[in-house]
Chain A
């Protein structure tokens, strides 16, 4: 069975600095998708970024980028120029290609310090 591990329950970053959130996963599959979701205090979970496993190029969305290391089964999220609005719980998620289900990590709470 696939698992997703987020080893950092909580992290802090100064405003305008860069922070990296870690995620590792375990799978025997070769075709899958990885996601980062953000859950602000308002609770609405929103998609931040996604990566297809067959793509070697790391996904980027504005200030958010990933470091996808397929062999190491690592999928970290880098947030550049951190803003107060980035404060939230961040969840890493895995989706096997032929299924509809996602497997989520336990989350990392990010605090942004002014």
Chain B
């Protein structure tokens, strides 16, 4: 069974901390994405990557950065966590070509206190 694995299901961090959210996929997908999900706002794209070491900003990249050193791993970094970054974070991957939809991870519920 293909999988997208997010390293933490729940995370509590302090304001100002540097936070790493990890995502690993085992499907050899080229594309990987980070979204945040907030009630009433749906899913908003933070960053995505369509190849190793490539990254592009999504709709809300401020306060975040990403790293993709290997094809299977896509990390989201909160440089200095703030309370307004408390949210559900979803990682997804997809093939570069074709109609295939996203495969999602289970999500990380991040609380910044």
Contact = CB atoms under 8 A, between A and B. Distances in A.
Interface of A: 4, 6, 9, 33, 35, 37, 42-47, 50, 52, 91, 93, 100-102, 104-107
B20 to A, nearest CB: 20
Contact of A91 (B31, B42, B44, B50): B42
A50 B99 contact: yes
Contacts of A106: 40-42
B104 A46 contact: yes
Interface in B74-113: 88, 90, 92, 94, 96, 99, 101-102, 104-107
Contact of B42 (A52, A100, A107): A107
A43 B94 contact: no
A44 B106 contact: yes
7 contacts: A6-B42, A101-B45, A102-B45, A102-B102, A104-B42, A104-B43, A106-B40
Contact of A47 (B40, B45, B90, B101): B101
Contacts of B107: 43-45
Contacts of A100: 31, 33, 48, 50, 94, 96
Contacts of B50: 100
Interface in B28-60: 31, 33, 35, 40-45, 48, 50, 58
Contacts of A52: 99
Contacts of B58: 101
A6 B40 CA distance: 10
Contacts of B92: 45
